[in-house]
């Protein structure tokens, strides 16, 4: 399963490999633990799951202003440090995200500072723009009213993200849920290009985040690093028609009217193999 680009973590006993990244970023563990729960569960449950994950050897934690889990993630890392499960906060790769209600150039830095306060940390390893969308400023919430959606000032927001990086508060900056079109817009203006994140398969050479509140499942998920797909499996999987889907509808209230055209925020993409396959089979 490991590709040539993968190195095994040297900073812990974890068997989860690291993916090296650019010159100024630290390696990203190939698998992280998600902390989004919907409907929300008790904080104690999330804190215990994160602590279990750290005990098992996970070193990548995924949180967000929206998830309401930043505080418990910070507490779990502090507890793990006290107990000697991790040598220090530096051993853990922490990602958090800017929610749509804060997606304004002048709110990016204060939002990151608030997240850092929740986490009780001096920096995050990765700060992501959660969605390429801006809504009326307020506390992070979900679902979003359609009429509250406004066009995003992508250039201004990304400049502010770059400032977070420059100040050392975010070691890396990136985006999630961006369509190819939005990414192209961003790449055209970015001085620091974004790290694209979440849920890619290890064999495709990207880091992924899994969520599991049960320790035995967290353990089971790490076992993917113990075996490889056979060539036959790879051929079969490659033949499955794959769509990449990014849909904004899941984070909106069903009622209401759009205050802007959001059609470009929903996209279904096919990989080139699948496109050829679809053309062949008609």
Ligand X SMILES: NC(=O)c1ccc[n+]([C@@H]2O[C@H](COP(=O)([O-])OP(=O)(O)OC[C@H]3O[C@@H](n4cnc5c(N)ncnc54)[C@H](OP(=O)(O)O)[C@@H]3O)[C@@H](O)[C@H]2O)c1
Phi, psi angle pair for 62, to nearest 5°: -110, 115
Least distance CB 59 / ligand X (angstroms)? 15
Supply the minimum distance, in Å, between the C-beta of residue 61 and ligand X.
Answer: 9
Nearer to ligand X, 159 or 215 (CB): 215
Q: How far is the CB of 166 from ligand X (least distance, A)?
A: 24
Rank residues 19 and 277 by Cβ distance to ligand X and give the closer one. Answer: 19
- State the residues that interact with ligand X by CB under 6 A: 34-36, 62, 130, 176-177, 198, 209-214, 217, 220-221
Buried b / exposed e over 27-52, threshold 16 CB at 10 Å, is bbbbbbbbbbbeeeeeeeebbebbbb
Output phi, psi for 64, to 5 deg. -165, 155
58 is catalytic: no
Please say which residue, 7 or 40, places its beta carbon nearer to ligand X.
40
**Closest-approach residue to ligand X (CB):** 34
CB burial string 137-171: b at 16+ within 10 A, e below: eeebeeebbbebbbebebeebbebbbbbbeeebbb
Q: How far is the CB of 180 from ligand X (least distance, A)?
A: 16
Q: Which of 67, 104, 123, 127 is catalytic?
A: 67
Nearest to ligand X of 97, 146 (CB atom)? 97
- Cα separation, 238 vs 224, in Å, equals 18
Nearer to ligand X, 62 or 125 (CB): 62
Residue 252 Cβ vs ligand X, minimum distance, rounded to whole Å: 14
Q: State the catalytic residues.
A: 67
């Amino acid at each position: 399963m490991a590709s040539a680009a993968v190195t095994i973590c040297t900073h812990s006993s974890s068997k989860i490999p690291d993916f090296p990244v650019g010159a100024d970023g630290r390696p990203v563990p190939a698998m992280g633990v998600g902390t989004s729960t919907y409907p929300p569960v008790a904080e104690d449950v999330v804190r215990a799951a994160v602590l279990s994950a750290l005990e098992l050897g996970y070193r990548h934690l995924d949180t967000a202003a929206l998830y309401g889990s930043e505080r418990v993630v910070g507490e779990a890392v502090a507890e793990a440090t006290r107990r000697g499960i991790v040598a220090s906060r530096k051993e853990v790769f922490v990602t958090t995200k800017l929610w749509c209600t804060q997606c304004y150039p002048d709110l990016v830095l204060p939002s990151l500072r608030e997240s850092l306060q929740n986490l009780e940390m001096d920096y995050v390893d990765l700060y992501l723009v959660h969605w390429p969308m801006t809504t009326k400023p307020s506390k992070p919430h979900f679902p979003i009213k359609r009429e509250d959606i406004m066009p995003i000032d992508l250039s201004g927001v990304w400049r502010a993200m770059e400032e977070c990086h420059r100040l050392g508060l975010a070691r890396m900056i990136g985006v999630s849920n961006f369509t190819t079109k939005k990414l192209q817009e961003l790449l055209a203006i970015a001085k620091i290009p974004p790290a694209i994140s979440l849920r890619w398969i290890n064999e495709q050479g990207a880091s992924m985040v899994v969520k599991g509140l049960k320790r035995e499942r967290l353990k089971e998920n790490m076992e993917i690093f113990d075996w490889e797909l056979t060539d036959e499996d790879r051929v079969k999987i490659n033949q499955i028609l794959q769509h990449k889907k990014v849909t904004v509808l899941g984070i909106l209230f069903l009622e209401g009217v759009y205050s802007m055209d959001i059609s470009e925020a929903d996209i279904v993409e096919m990989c080139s193999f699948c496109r050829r396959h679809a053309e062949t089979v008609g």
